[in-house]
Structure 1
Amino acid sequence: MTVPPEELELAAAFPPAERDRWREMVKGVLRKSGAATEDTPLEEIEGLLARPSYDGVPIAALYTAGDGAPGRPGLAPYVREVRPDAESLAGWDVRQRHAAPDPAAVREAVLADLENGATSVWLVLGEAGLPVDGLAEALRGVHLDLAPVVLDAGRRTPEAAEAFLALAAESGKAARVAGGLGADPLGLRARTGDVLPVEAAAELAARCARDFPRLRAVTVDGTVHHDAGGSDADELAGAVAAGVAYLRALTDAGLNVDEAFGQIEFRLAVNADQFLSIAKLRAARRLWARVAEASGAADGTAARVHAVTSSAMMTRRDPWVNMLRTTVAAFAAGVGGADAVTVQPFDARLGLPDAFSRRIARNTQTLLLEESSLSRVADPAGGSWYVEKITEELARAAWDRFTEIERAGGFAAALDSGLIAERLAATWERRRKDIARRKAPLTGVSEFPNLAEKLPERAPAPPAPSGGLPAVHYAQDFEALRDRSDAHEAATGARPAVYLATLGPIAVHTARASFAANLFQAGGIATVSGPPEDFAASGAAVAVLCSSDTLYAEHAADAAATLKGAGAVKVWLAGKGSYDGVDDRVHAGCDAVAVLEATLQDLGVS
């Protein structure tokens, strides 16, 4: 009888893994696809599998223990955040955003949020939200010493800050009022072009440090770079550059270094790329720790980060899918160690969210906190060689861009010179091409669209501030095509349509017909299918041949002639090959937006 060992060695029954052996196996697969040859050196195999992020950080196919140097949780450079602390198991701050212009409606929504899981409030004031003179009414009944409030008032920041500080003083608990005044003159300049003196933020910081010790005056809003199409390193570099500019202003106003660091909070975007979002938050703390070290700040000066689910990734079409996007992003924020998290309601692109969508946004975080127990684990991503490696490389890429901004004269000078805008535009152009080619798919928009969807109706939201860096949405090009299709349907009673001319039995043409239908419907173009000889009866003006390569070789030219003879203004072919009468091809990786633009034009859709 075999006696089991006291310790179970999980890998005991397997031979030791060797990197070169793995490379040999991968090489065999790549040879079959043509990506490698017999002469390809083994040391080049991993490079064939790597892909660059929009920051140029290589995303490798394999990471090992040699790629990770996690350090100790809770200590500088704070890459590995510790949460919870010894005093609380509550986890991160669940922060709900409110931008409705009606103070009574805001008050009702704020109280509902605080009673049902939210732990703090983010109020947008001014032209983009609540009137400043409605602040007192909106916060009536809110215990400011228990529920932190963060303001976001743009160019009305001084006025809004005065109103809030007056409420804090009237509460009789000024020393316990927490939250932030949201002063961000540089972010305002980047987003709108409006100029608010940095000294105004410094004056508010001095008042908070003196009279309101739990209030932070300054918010460094990095999301303006993300919303303009920027990469993770772009956002981090801009945020750190703005933060350093504020540090200079605050210390010039009389605050010591530690007080200045204590007055700053960062706001960063997280999206559905969960691993890069996790790495971004960890890299943000690493970068700010380096700034603190260079500034001579005391140990324990870690960046405070408010993570917000990305506005750029949200869609107007099939908005229910936004629930999935924001869940992944919120998970990344929690794992990445965010101090506060805001989940945008799934209907944020449609107007003001209703009670149901705010409830879903709250409960997304509640589920992650209470049922998934993310807050009960210190640095859940720690020890992941992949996350550790890309955290380090992302931090280095962002530091290089930050120092470039500093060499240009600092954040304001780099913004005025166009340096920041040019880099963001270059990143957005690369991302936009990937979206157009569906290499970066958008479920419900560029993939698997639902032309029969009925969008929920929402009250219009106040217009977002503009005038500075552009605000983009990943789905904007496809959504513009869908809007054209909708307008055509409203005017004519029918959607524009293309005819899928199928060749051979259903098992042969189904795959490519399904591919073509998915592509054209992403532009709001309906599809009908049948044999080429039935084209004339369909009423369509554009046809797409769908079948196998073998049948194309035998019948594509004749089928194209039949279609052209029946009045087709253009004949596409789904797949490979060139044949007489075929005008162009649609295939995986083609520029879908260009195809759809051309097709709508061929169909007479303005």
Structure 2
Amino acid sequence: MNSASISDLPFMEAFPRPDQAQWRAAVDKVLKGADFEKRLVARTADGIRIEPLYAAVSPQARPSRSQAGRWHVSTRVDHPSPAEARDLALADLEGGADSLVLSFAGARAARGYGLVADDVAALDAALDGVMLDLISLRIDPAAGGRINALLLAALVERRGIDPATTTIDFGLDPVGILASRGAFAASWPEIGRRLVETIAALKARGFAGPFLTADARPYHEAGATEAQELGAAMATAVAYLRALEAGGMPLDQARDAMSFILVADTDEFMTIAKFRAARLLWQRVQQACGLEPKPMVLNAETAWRSLTRRDPWVNLLRATVATFSAGIGGADSLTVLPFTAALGLPDGFARRVARNTQLVLLEEANLWRVADPAAGAGGFEALTQALCEQAWTKLQDLEREASGDQPGIVAALANGHVQQGLARQRDVRAKAIATRREPITGTSEFPNLAEAPVRVLEIAPVKRTGSSPSSTRAADQNQAALIDKLAEGATRADATTAPEQDGLKVAPLPSARLAEAFEALRDKADMLTQERGTRPTVFLATLGPVSDFTARAGFARNLFEAGGLSTPGHDGFPGNGGTDMAALVAAYQASGARLACLCGSDPGYAAEAVAASEALRAQGATVWLAGKPGELEHALNQAGVAAFIFAGADVVATLEQAQAIAAA
């Protein structure tokens, strides 16, 4: 506690003020010789050290939101039908949203759906009743992004709205499309030239932008750490600054044309630190360019990779943590993915819950009323600074990959540098997920085999006819004239041509959710259940009284049910101070299971595990044991125990084996 807070609480003067040494002495006493570093010091995926205790620090002046006040509550326009998209969008706006994200078909963020609007009339129908000059609009980056931007500009002109009164982020992000789709429609210098031309045409009509966005979502979905995500975003922004400057645009105008999209994840501390670090990094980039820094336009979206298809109600908790973190971290706008998004196109109920997650934190918790609530908190300040340092190193690493006319981030995608770094991180994360060092509630931990299905809209993913959006480019014609043609009724097909031969191709970044390995196990178990008429079962062979086996039986049940295997409960088989083996064997025979797992205490294993295994093996059971065997391993193996399940083991591999045995 600092001196200022002591003066506010004079009664605290009656108590001695402990120092760090006294605290450490008390901690060492509790640890009783255990390693302080292993027990109380954690590290992030980037290796940043997280201490158990931080001293308060003096708040530093930091860049804040581009506009003071509330962040924008955004919702996605992603239904393929313009009429249905309009109804959902109007319901969101009437329910408290003040920003729409146009996610056209072909956008990665549309997840196979997306608004199908190939001309201004269709886009007009999708936004019918929406007052474009009273809300903010953002276009999700997509292949063919220039046509999407020009269609929206043409709609504004067609409605007779003064572009200067609109707030539109046009979402042009060719680098992000290269990362997610694996192709450029032309060479990088030509891409830069067209960006300058498009921005000039839009500005000439009176649009203020932003026009370009550095979208970090493709990297996050491919497994990026916080520093990797920030480094990629900054490297993308630097590439755009250089391209626009090379095209004759003053650097300050190029800077003003930029916005960013970062992901709000379920790690509260690191998400807050990441958003705070992003503003500091962008300030440093501007200073390095010789510019007087301005606040960045920072949009946020909750994490796709953290969503689960199993027990999707838990996604509500994940979204709440992410929303809180993005709000505290200083996002200018936030899109909360509905809790059913991983299962299909969300319905009105899921969308309402998503926007209300923000509204509760805005209206009831008043999170927006403090510019930087984390300021002065030693932990947040230390994490923010460390993340800035790590991300700057990542930025420099990407910049060193520059080759010929390709900027660092483009060259790093072309030579596989980005893909290799993210693949290494995915492998590390996959191992943590598989061993449940990083648990997923409702999926790898505390699964619910009796979960009821949730509702999504009954609509198939969009199948575009003709050329794929990734294989087309905006026609090489005057962009101002193209806006006029689109406003007069020209279609997307009229405005696109085939890509050039010198367009760059790279290995696209994968998009994966963390829960997919466990979800695949559950899907397989459900398929077996449908084929057999009963769910594959594991018999929990409990030893001794309830007090002896409860802990390990609970562990085993949690583990097996994460793979969709049923583990019927019972009160055990006590008898004669131990276990009634005859009753245990009879219960196993009645269960119909092929796999039996011994569950008990260490003394119980020493006394009865060998006999129990032999009895179950005699009935044809494959026998496993919950816990590490220790000195009993040889004797247990001799008695037929085939495997041991314990904390820290590869649960995915274990469940694959269990399913094979249970389904045999």
**Alignment match, 1:142:** 130
Give the AA of the match of 1:599. A
Aligned CA distance change for structure 1 residues 306 and 153 (closer, same or farther; 3 Å) = closer
Q: Is the contact between residue 125 and residue 156 of structure 1 (CA under 8 Å) also seen in structure 2?
A: no
**Alignment match, 2:499:** none
**Alignment match, 1:422:** 420
- How is 1:535-550 mapped onto 2 (pairs within 5 angstroms)? 535-550=588-603
Deviation at 1:230, TM superposition (A): 1.1
Q: Is the contact between residue 202 and residue 250 of structure 1 (CA under 8 Å) also seen in structure 2?
A: yes
**Alignment match, 1:39:** none
Equivalent residue in structure 2 for 1:450, among 442, 448, 451: 448
- How is 1:79-158 mapped onto 2 (pairs within 5 angstroms)? 81=64, 85=68, 89=69, 91-127=70-106, 128=112, 129-133=114-118, 134-152=122-140, 154-158=142-146
**Alignment match, 1:468:** 508
Deviation at 1:9, TM superposition (A): 2.2
**Alignment match, 1:320:** 313
**In structure 2, C-alpha distance between the alignment counterparts of 1:312 and 1:26, rounded to whole Å:** 37
Gaps of 5+ in 1: 37-44
What's the TM-score, normalizing by structure 1? Answer: 0.92
- How is 1:328-477 mapped onto 2 (pairs within 5 angstroms)? 328-409=321-402, 410-458=408-456, 459-460=458-459, 462=461, 468-477=508-517
Aligned partner of residue 590 in structure 1, secondary structure: coil
The answer on 1:60 being equivalent to 2:61 is no
What's the TM-score, normalizing by structure 2? Answer: 0.84
Deviations 1:79-133 (A, max 9, x none): xx26873xxx4x0011101211101011111111111111110011133411232
**In structure 2, C-alpha distance between the alignment counterparts of 1:138 and 1:509, rounded to whole Å:** 60
Give the AA of the match of 1:462. P
Q: Is the contact between residue 244 and residue 254 of structure 2 (CA under 8 Å) also seen in structure 1?
A: yes
Aligned partner of residue 526 in structure 1, secondary structure: coil
Aligned CA distance change for structure 1 residues 486 and 523 (closer, same or farther; 3 Å) = same
RMSD: 2.0
Deviation at 1:473, TM superposition (A): 0.5
Aligned partner of residue 539 in structure 2, secondary structure: strand
Deviation at 1:13, TM superposition (A): 3.3
**Alignment match, 1:525:** 565
Deviations 1:540-572 (A, max 9, x none): 111111111111111111111111111112323
- How is 1:156-171 mapped onto 2 (pairs within 5 angstroms)? 156-170=144-158, 171=160
**In structure 2, C-alpha distance between the alignment counterparts of 1:392 and 1:334, rounded to whole Å:** 19
Deviation at 1:487, TM superposition (A): 0.4
Aligned partner of residue 230 in structure 2, secondary structure: helix
Equivalent residue in structure 1 for 2:40, among 29, 41, 49: 49
Aligned partner of residue 143 in structure 2, secondary structure: helix
The answer on 1:511 being equivalent to 2:511 is no
How many residues are treated as equivalent by the alignment?
A: 578
**In structure 2, C-alpha distance between the alignment counterparts of 1:72 and 1:453, rounded to whole Å:** 49
Deviation at 1:382, TM superposition (A): 1.1
Aligned CA distance change for structure 1 residues 132 and 69 (closer, same or farther; 3 Å) = farther
Deviation at 1:153, TM superposition (A): 5.1
**In structure 2, C-alpha distance between the alignment counterparts of 1:23 and 1:375, rounded to whole Å:** 37
**In structure 1, C-alpha distance between the alignment counterparts of 2:24 and 2:629, rounded to whole Å:** 31
- How is 1:198-237 mapped onto 2 (pairs within 5 angstroms)? 198-237=192-231
Aligned CA distance change for structure 1 residues 6 and 147 (closer, same or farther; 3 Å) = closer
**Alignment match, 2:181:** 192
**In structure 2, C-alpha distance between the alignment counterparts of 1:574 and 1:398, rounded to whole Å:** 41
Larger CA deviation: 215-224 vs 404-413: 215-224
**Alignment match, 2:9:** 8
Aligned CA distance change for structure 1 residues 267 and 195 (closer, same or farther; 3 Å) = same
Give the AA of the match of 1:564. R
Q: Is the contact between residue 536 and residue 567 of structure 1 (CA under 8 Å) also seen in structure 2?
A: no
Q: Is the contact between residue 83 and residue 379 of structure 1 (CA under 8 Å) also seen in structure 2?
A: no
Give the AA of the match of 2:523. D
Give the AA of the match of 1:123. L
Give the AA of the match of 2:383. I
Give the AA of the match of 1:499. F
**Alignment match, 1:593:** 652
Aligned partner of residue 161 in structure 2, secondary structure: coil
**In structure 1, C-alpha distance between the alignment counterparts of 2:644 and 2:126, rounded to whole Å:** 57
**Alignment match, 2:24:** 23
Give the AA of the match of 2:394. R
**In structure 2, C-alpha distance between the alignment counterparts of 1:344 and 1:515, rounded to whole Å:** 32
**In structure 2, C-alpha distance between the alignment counterparts of 1:63 and 1:214, rounded to whole Å:** 43
Deviation at 1:371, TM superposition (A): 0.3
Aligned partner of residue 572 in structure 1, secondary structure: strand
**In structure 1, C-alpha distance between the alignment counterparts of 2:539 and 2:30, rounded to whole Å:** 38
Aligned partner of residue 216 in structure 1, secondary structure: coil
Deviation at 1:460, TM superposition (A): 4.2
**In structure 1, C-alpha distance between the alignment counterparts of 2:7 and 2:451, rounded to whole Å:** 60
The answer on 1:486 being equivalent to 2:519 is no
Q: Is the contact between residue 442 and residue 448 of structure 2 (CA under 8 Å) also seen in structure 1?
A: yes
**In structure 2, C-alpha distance between the alignment counterparts of 1:314 and 1:244, rounded to whole Å:** 31
Aligned CA distance change for structure 1 residues 69 and 598 (closer, same or farther; 3 Å) = farther
Q: Is the contact between residue 65 and residue 297 of structure 2 (CA under 8 Å) also seen in structure 1?
A: no
Aligned CA distance change for structure 1 residues 7 and 323 (closer, same or farther; 3 Å) = closer
Equivalent residue in structure 1 for 2:290, among 283, 296, 304: 296
Deviation at 1:536, TM superposition (A): 2.1
Aligned partner of residue 154 in structure 1, secondary structure: coil
Aligned CA distance change for structure 1 residues 271 and 257 (closer, same or farther; 3 Å) = same
Deviation at 1:49, TM superposition (A): 2.3
Aligned CA distance change for structure 1 residues 370 and 376 (closer, same or farther; 3 Å) = same
Aligned CA distance change for structure 1 residues 254 and 143 (closer, same or farther; 3 Å) = farther
Q: Is the contact between residue 93 and residue 340 of structure 1 (CA under 8 Å) also seen in structure 2?
A: yes
**In structure 2, C-alpha distance between the alignment counterparts of 1:7 and 1:393, rounded to whole Å:** 32
Deviation at 1:265, TM superposition (A): 0.7
Deviations 1:508-567 (A, max 9, x none): 111111111011000101013554323222111111111111111111111111111111
Deviation at 1:207, TM superposition (A): 2.8
Give the AA of the match of 2:171. G
Deviation at 1:576, TM superposition (A): 4.4
Aligned partner of residue 527 in structure 1, secondary structure: coil
Q: Is the contact between residue 552 and residue 626 of structure 2 (CA under 8 Å) also seen in structure 1?
A: no
Deviation at 1:48, TM superposition (A): 5.5
**Alignment match, 1:179:** 168
Deviation at 1:62, TM superposition (A): 1.3
**In structure 2, C-alpha distance between the alignment counterparts of 1:294 and 1:164, rounded to whole Å:** 34
**In structure 1, C-alpha distance between the alignment counterparts of 2:17 and 2:450, rounded to whole Å:** 55
**Alignment match, 1:41:** none
Deviation at 1:442, TM superposition (A): 1.0
**In structure 1, C-alpha distance between the alignment counterparts of 2:622 and 2:462, rounded to whole Å:** 42
Larger CA deviation: 446-455 vs 276-285: 446-455
Deviations 1:8-52 (A, max 9, x none): 3253233221212222222223335xx34xxxxxxxx45762121
**Alignment match, 2:504:** none
- How is 1:232-243 mapped onto 2 (pairs within 5 angstroms)? 232-243=226-237
Deviations 1:188-246 (A, max 9, x none): 01001121424333322223343334321111110111001111111101110011001
